[in-house]
C-alpha cells in the first residue's frame, strides 16, 4: 500500500506541523481548512519554521524550497478524496470529526486510508461512521510536530494489518518513532500526562502552591523541561479539559474528574498561550506573569 500523497484536514497548530514534516519527507501534501486566512497563515508558519531549520543547518535551502513546493492548499474538503492518506487534525470535538469523515467518504478512492490526529477520542467509534473501518487508524502526533519524535499509532477494533503496516512505514519515513497504543480513552501519552496536569491544577485550586512554585517544583524536582501549568497553557486549556472529560466519561473513575478551576478558566476563555491568558498572562512584553 504505497503512500505518496497526503491530505490534511485542519491548518491549525497541529495541521501545519504535520504538513511541514510530510512535505520535508518527500510527500505531496494537500492542506484543507474552512478559512483561507488559516491556510495563508499556515503556509507562512511552515516557511518560518523551515527557515529556522535552515539557519540551524538541519536542512538546506533547496530542501526548504522543495518542501514548500510540495504543499498545496484547498478550501474544498472533497479535494482530499484522491490522496492516499488523509489525516484529520481538526478541533478535539467528536461531532466535528464525525462530520468531516462523513463529508469525505463519498469522494474517497477505494484504497485511501483515513486517520485522525485525535489525542483522546475513540478510534473505533470514529471509524464506525465511515465506509472503511478496516482502513481507519489513530495517527497521533505530538506538539510541536517538527520537533517531537513520537507518533502514537492506535488501531481501532476493525483496523487491518495492511493499514497498520502502511502507517508504520510512513512514521519511519518521517524519521519519527512509533508507539503502538490500544484504543482506550486518551491512549498512552495523555492517559498519563493529563491526570498529572489536572492534579497540578488541583494543587493550585486547593492552595497547596502557587503557579510558580508548582511549575518550579516539577522542573527542578522531577527534571521536567516545562512545568505542568506552563505545559497546560502550551497545549490549550480547552484541549486539556476535553481530554479529561473523555477520560472521566470513558473510564467512569472519579480520579479523572476535571478540576473545577480548569473548567472555570475555559469558561472565561482563558485557554493559554493561544488566547494570551491561561495560568500565565502572555500579553505583556516581558516574561509571562502568573494569573493566580
Domain CATH code at residue 61: 3.40.50.720
Annotated active-site residue 152? The verdict is: yes
DSSP state of 52: H
Q: Find, among 56, 58, 1, 75, the residue nearest to 24 by Cα.
A: 58
pLDDT value at residue 1: 73
**Do 118 and 243 reside in the same domain of the chain?**
no
Q: Find, among 13, 7, 75, 77, the residue nearest to 42 by Cα.
A: 13
**Do 79 and 197 reside in the same domain of the chain?**
no
Pairing of strands 28-32, 71-74: parallel
Q: Write out the H or E segment, with its range, that includes residue 30.
A: strand 28-32
**Do 30 and 127 reside in the same domain of the chain?**
yes
Q: Please, are residues 178 and 126 in contact by the beta-carbon 8 Å criterion?
A: no
**Do 130 and 197 reside in the same domain of the chain?**
no
Annotated active-site residue 230? The verdict is: no
Final residue in a domain of this structure, among 153, 181, 209: 181
State pLDDT tens for residues 112-130.
999 999 998 999 999 999 9
**Do 195 and 279 reside in the same domain of the chain?**
yes
Final residue in a domain of this structure, among 133, 160, 181: 181
Pairing of strands 85-88, 5-9: parallel
Annotated active-site residue 140? The verdict is: yes
Q: Please, are residues 121 and 92 in contact by the beta-carbon 8 Å criterion?
A: yes
Report how many domains make up the chain. Answer: 2
Which of 88, 92, 152, 230 does the annotation list as catalytic? Answer: 152
C-alpha cell at 119: 489525542
Which of 116, 190, 198, 230 does the annotation list as catalytic? Answer: 190
pLDDT value at residue 92: 86
pLDDT value at residue 272: 97
Which of 119, 120, 122, 198 does the annotation list as catalytic? Answer: 119
Q: Find, among 119, 141, 128, the residue nearest to 6 by Cα.
A: 141
pLDDT value at residue 257: 98
Annotated active-site residue 20? The verdict is: no
DSSP state of 277: B
pLDDT value at residue 288: 96
**Do 24 and 47 reside in the same domain of the chain?**
yes
Q: Flag residues of the chain having pLDDT under 70.
A: none
Which of 32, 49, 140, 230 does the annotation list as catalytic? Answer: 140
3-state secondary structure of 177: strand
pLDDT value at residue 71: 98
| Complete DSSP assignment for 197-241 | HHHHHHHHHTTSS-HHHHHHHHHHHS--SS-HHHHHHHH-HHHHH
HEC-encoded secondary structure of 83-141: CCEEEECCCCCHHHHHHHHHHHHHHCCCCCEEEECCCCCCHHHHHCCCCCHHHEEEEEE
**Do 13 and 158 reside in the same domain of the chain?**
yes
**Do 200 and 158 reside in the same domain of the chain?**
no
The Cβ of residue 283 has, within 10 Å, a number of other Cβ atoms equal to: 10
Q: Please, are residues 71 and 46 in contact by the beta-carbon 8 Å criterion?
A: yes
- Domain range for 107: 5-181
**Do 99 and 209 reside in the same domain of the chain?**
no
Final residue in a domain of this structure, among 181, 207, 231: 181
For residues 140 and 132, what is the distance between their CA atoms, to the nearest angstrom?
19
Pairing of strands 113-116, 85-88: parallel
For residues 120 and 94, what is the distance between their CA atoms, to the nearest angstrom?
10
**Do 157 and 267 reside in the same domain of the chain?**
no
Q: How would you class 137 by CB atoms within 10 Å of its CB: exposed for 0-12, middle for 13-18, buried for 19 or more?
A: buried
**Do 90 and 176 reside in the same domain of the chain?**
yes
**Do 165 and 225 reside in the same domain of the chain?**
no
Amino acid at each position: 500500500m504505497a503512500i505518496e500523497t497526503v491530505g490534511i484536514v485542519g491548518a491549525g497548530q497541529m495541521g501545519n506541523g504535520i504538513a511541514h514534516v510530510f512535505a520535508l519527507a518527500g510527500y505531496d501534501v494537500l492542506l484543507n481548512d474552512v478559512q483561507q486566512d488559516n491556510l495563508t497563515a499556515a503556509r507562512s508558519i511552515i516557511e518560518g519554521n523551515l527557515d529556522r531549520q535552515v539557519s540551524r543547518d538541519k536542512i538546506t535551502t533547496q530542501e526548504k524550497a522543495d518542501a514548500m513546493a510540495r504543499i498545496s492548499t484547498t478550501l474544498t474538503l472533497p479535494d482530499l478524496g484522491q490522496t492516499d492518506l488523509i489525516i484529520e487534525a481538526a478541533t478535539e470535538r467528536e461531532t466535528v470529526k464525525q462530520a468531516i469523515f462523513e463529508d469525505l467518504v463519498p469522494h474517497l478512492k477505494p484504497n485511501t486510508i483515513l486517520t485522525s490526529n485525535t489525542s483522546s477520542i475513540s478510534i473505533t467509534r470514529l471509524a464506525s461512521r465511515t465506509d472503511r473501518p478496516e482502513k481507519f487508524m489513530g495517527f497521533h502526533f505530538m506538539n510541536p510536530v517538527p520537533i517531537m519524535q513520537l507518533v502514537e499509532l492506535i488501531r481501532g477494533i476493525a483496523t487491518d494489518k495492511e493499514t497498520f503496516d502502511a502507517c508504520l512505514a510512513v512514521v519511519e519515513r518521517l524519521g519519527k518513532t512509533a508507539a503502538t497504543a490500544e484504543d482506550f480513552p486518551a491512549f498512552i501519552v495523555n492517559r498519563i500526562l493529563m491526570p498529572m496536569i489536572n492534579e497540578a491544577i488541583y494543587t493550585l485550586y486547593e492552595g497547596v502552591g502557587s503557579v510558580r512554585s508548582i511549575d518550579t517544583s516539577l522542573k527542578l524536582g522531577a527534571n521536567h523541561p516545562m512545568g505542568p501549568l506552563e505545559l497546560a497553557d502550551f497545549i490549550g486549556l480547552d484541549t486539556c479539559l476535553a481530554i479529561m472529560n473523555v477520560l472521566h466519561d470513558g473510564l467512569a473513575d472519579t480520579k479523572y474528574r476535571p478540576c473545577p478551576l480548569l473548567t472555570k478558566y475555559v469558561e472565561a476563555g482563558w485557554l493559554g498561550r493561544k488566547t494570551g491568558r491561561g495560568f500565565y498572562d502572555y500579553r505583556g512584553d516581558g516574561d509571562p506573569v502568573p494569573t493566580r
